[in-house]
Chains A and B, each alone.
Chain A
């Protein structure tokens, strides 16, 4: 059973960079797509982007100018960086496998506040 676990700071200051890592266990990063998805409190789901195990990426145009997703296959991890955050970026951030999402992490609440 593939397991995903998000890690990173739960509080980020406005204008700074949000950085999260997803560790994949009981399975390999290859040969799958890996996505980041977020959910503001009490609201719906928004796909942020994916990375393929080879390193190719695809981002949501609504966030593309601020997002970088990278992969570390040797450690079975992939990461999210979101720059210039503001209060609207406060959300639970999930990592998930593929482009319809069969495995999810438990989610991590990231609050943007000074």
Chain B
């Protein structure tokens, strides 16, 4: 199985901050990586797929990058509605796997 390690697991930030979350894969996954946002009591919401392609409706302040084994999710200017937990997910091989999550909280 491909392991995905997210860092940090917890992040405290202020509105307007630039935030970057990293996802590292245990082996190369080309660009087959997606990012999700999950708010309490809700299903995850797809933000980015294929490492850097914004899903329809994702605000442009979100961006994704990387390939191979190292990937990033960046929020250029954090908004109040962005405080949530973020997960990466590889769709390169089976079983499909998720990272452990990064919780972004208000400083």
Could you tell me which A residues sit within 8 Å of B by CB distance? 35, 44-47, 58-62, 94, 96, 99-102, 104-107
- A99: B residues at CB distance < 8 A: 91, 96
Give Cα A101 to B96, complex, Å: 11
- B99: A residues at CB distance < 8 A: 44
Quote the shortest CB–CB distance from A62 to chain B (angstroms). 7
Determine which residue in A44, A61, A105, A107 has the highest number of CB atoms from chain B within 10 A of its CB, and name it.
A44
- A59: B residues at CB distance < 8 A: 95
Quote the shortest CB–CB distance from A102 to chain B (angstroms). 5
Across the interface, name the chain B residue whose C-beta is closest to A103.
B46
Docked-complex contact A62 and B44, CB < 8 angstroms: no
- A101: B residues at CB distance < 8 A: 34, 36, 44, 46, 89
Docked-complex contact B44 and A45, CB < 8 angstroms: yes
Quote the shortest CB–CB distance from A72 to chain B (angstroms). 22
Across chains A and B, the number of contacting residue pairs, with CB separation under 8 Å, is 48
Docked-complex contact B44 and A61, CB < 8 angstroms: no
Docked-complex contact B95 and A100, CB < 8 angstroms: no
- B100: A residues at CB distance < 8 A: 44
Q: Which of A46, A61, A102 contacts B98 (CB 8 A)?
A: A46
The 10 closest A-B pairs by CB, nearest first: A104-B43, A100-B34, A47-B96, A60-B95, A45-B98, A100-B49, A100-B91, A99-B91, A102-B46, A44-B100
Docked-complex contact A47 and B43, CB < 8 angstroms: no
- B34: A residues at CB distance < 8 A: 100-101
Docked-complex contact A105 and B46, CB < 8 angstroms: no
Q: In this assembly, does B27 line the interface, its C-beta being within 8 Å of a C-beta of chain A?
A: no
* Interface pairs (22), CB distance under 8 Å: A35-B96, A44-B87, A44-B98, A44-B99, A44-B100, A44-B101, A45-B89, A46-B98, A58-B94, A59-B95, A60-B95, A62-B95, A94-B43, A96-B43, A100-B46, A100-B49, A100-B91, A101-B34, A101-B44, A101-B46, A101-B89, A107-B43
